[in-house]
Structure 1
Amino acid sequence: MKYANISGVPDFTATEYASRQSDYALCIPIINEGDRIERELARAQSAGIGRFVDVIICDGGSTDGSTDDAVLKAAGVNTLLVKTGAGRQGAQLRMGLWWALQRGYKGIVTIDGNDKDSIESVPLFVEKLKEGYDFVQGSRFLAGGAAVNTPPIRYAAVRLLHAPIISLTARQWFTDTTNAFRAYSRTYLEHPQVQPFRDIFQAYELLAYLSVRASQLGMKACEIPVRRVYPPKGKTPTKISFFKGNSDLLKTLFMNLLGAYRP
């Protein structure tokens, strides 16, 4: 089914392999993740994640065969969303969040599709949502979590720059603020002073904004331990370029601190 001309949401198509089975959705934004997303989905199946959430792939336009219908159905995916409109990661996330809310989910978990994160931890996020938390951040730095093979420059950037700035903006301490393994309640996303469905969120702005807005509004936010594993060698799986990507990310952090994304 095609969705177009929705305010604050990019044009996209939805292919539903099954009806809604759960009260919670797991949205996985990807683009050409190849065997990484295949391994991640296989781990999800082995862990029985489908008993807790409906798995929704939020694709930015992959061309590597990883989103073929037969592949996704065999992997237990509930729905494939494919962005056809403009925008990058922020647009993919808006697409997934909007569609999940329209489908009636009570809460939404998100995770990268590059097989770095402990997808087996999804039930912990659902548990926190059921306890009444509105924003749940996964952290590899909490007791019980694990940061494996984290590149030193990334470790330093998160611990010494990104986390302090996000925590200052949020008025609550967070330790692993670049981590997209997190969860949002329906109440949070539909709060009139949040309004995530705006075209200002094209790239990484929405992740930064949703990291801080819940606690700014006095809503319940927390961190839980997760595992994040980088390959021991070879290219680091990331869509952020070293110079432009990190420069844009730094600009986003300070715009967020100054309240540029508030409605």
Structure 2
Amino acid sequence: MNTLKNACVPKYEVYEYKKKTSDYCLVIPIINEGQRILSELDKAVQANVHAQCDIIICDGGSSDGSTDKEIMISHGVNTLLVKRDVGKQGAQLRMGFYWALKRGYKGIITIDGNNKDSIEDVPSFIKKLQEGYDFVQGSRFIKGGKAINTPLSRYIAVRCIHAPMISLTAKKKFTDTTNNFRAYSTAYLLDERVNPFREIFMTYELLAYLSVRADQLGYKTCEIPVSRIYPEHEKTPTKISPLKGNFELIKILVNNALGKYS
């Protein structure tokens, strides 16, 4: 089976502002992030991230003007992909992974687009991919990492529920498993036993699945320190609702532990 030939990918539009310039790319799923994504991209440009990997924005259908062509180009974006189909983060990531793999990158880094993460740490992920790691998880909870203004409910959920369940399923300790700041090798994503291009991955299932499948299959994995900073006097930037959203995350963790995505 050819993983890409048989890939289930949402319908999307491609706005390619530059040709491929690197062996690695940074995939950022967004929808109506407004100034948050622009501030994040400003930090990336200041840290010269756009010169070390191609930045690919995976838009879920923003209507706030933040993805206008001139804005994207001036903020160092290589390509904008716009999903025109059903699904949330999982569908956006499938779209981004598919485009990146078809384009021939050796590795893919992902990060949220809400300006909470230390995008300037992208070169550390590239280095780990070059060292032969297949799954690299960013963590604010290991030595060198920084967790700033983390809401207590989030801290408890990650440390006491999400991370222990992912670690148990992967049979390896991970500490910051809801964090989308991570990296994947092409070999891992193209493995037929992984096959991330399935319609079952619509919301947050793909993050949970890819967190555990690498170790289950014997791939080389690690965590590296990153920073995650929540705004001090603003509403927490998130797409997960307190009740329904968190219930769905628990359900995904249970299904993942039972091997339903394998």
1:201-240 alignment to 2 at 5 Å?
A: 201-240=201-240
Q: One-letter code of the match for 1:12? A: Y
| CA distance in 2: counterparts of 1:52 and 1:158, whole angstroms | 31
Name the structure 1 match of 2:184. 184
| CA distance in 2: counterparts of 1:53 and 1:110, whole angstroms | 12
| CA distance in 2: counterparts of 1:170 and 1:178, whole angstroms | 14
Q: One-letter code of the match for 1:85? A: D
| CA distance in 2: counterparts of 1:52 and 1:249, whole angstroms | 34
- The unaligned stretches of length 5 or more in structure 1 are none
TM-score, normalised relative to structure 1 = 0.97
1:1-263 alignment to 2 at 5 Å?
A: 7-262=7-262
Residue 86 of structure 1: how far off its partner (Å): 1.0
Residue 50 of structure 1: how far off its partner (Å): 1.5
- The 3-state SS of whatever aligns with 2:137 is strand
Residue 6 of structure 1: how far off its partner (Å): 7.3
- The 3-state SS of whatever aligns with 2:219 is coil
Q: Structure 1 segments of 4 or more deviating over 6 A?
A: none
- The 3-state SS of whatever aligns with 2:50 is helix
Residue 7 of structure 1: how far off its partner (Å): 3.9
- The 3-state SS of whatever aligns with 2:99 is helix
| CA distance in 1: counterparts of 2:6 and 2:122, whole angstroms | 30
Q: Percent identity?
A: 64
Q: One-letter code of the match for 2:150? A: T
| CA distance in 2: counterparts of 1:175 and 1:92, whole angstroms | 25
1:91-129 CA distance string (max 9 Å, x none): 000000000000000000000000000000000000000
- The unaligned stretches of length 5 or more in structure 2 are none
The alignment covers a number of residue pairs equal to 258
1:211-246 CA distance string (max 9 Å, x none): 000000010000000000001122100000011100
Question: RMSD of the TM alignment (CA)?
Answer: 1.0
Residue 193 of structure 1: how far off its partner (Å): 0.4
- The 3-state SS of whatever aligns with 1:73 is helix
1:47-92 CA distance string (max 9 Å, x none): 0002211000000000000000000000010000000011111000
Q: One-letter code of the match for 1:120? A: E
- The 3-state SS of whatever aligns with 1:99 is helix
| CA distance in 1: counterparts of 2:211 and 2:98, whole angstroms | 18
Q: One-letter code of the match for 1:93? A: L
